[in-house]
Amino acid sequence: MSDDLTASESFISPPSEDLHNDEIDSLPSTDVSSDVDSEEFRSDAEREWRESLQQLELVLTMVLVPYLGKYFGRKAAYWGWARFMQWKYPNLEVVVTSPRTFRAAGAVEAAASL
Instruction: Provide mean pLDDT across the span 1-21.
Output: 56
Q: Count of residues for the chain?
A: 114
Q: CA 2 to CA 109: how far, in whole Å?
A: 90
Instruction: Provide mean pLDDT across the span 73-101.
Output: 85
Query: What are the pLDDT digits (tens) for 15-31?
Result: 555 555 555 556 555 55
Residue 2: is its pLDDT beyond 70?
no
Angle at 12 between CA 10 and CA 16, to 5 degrees: 115
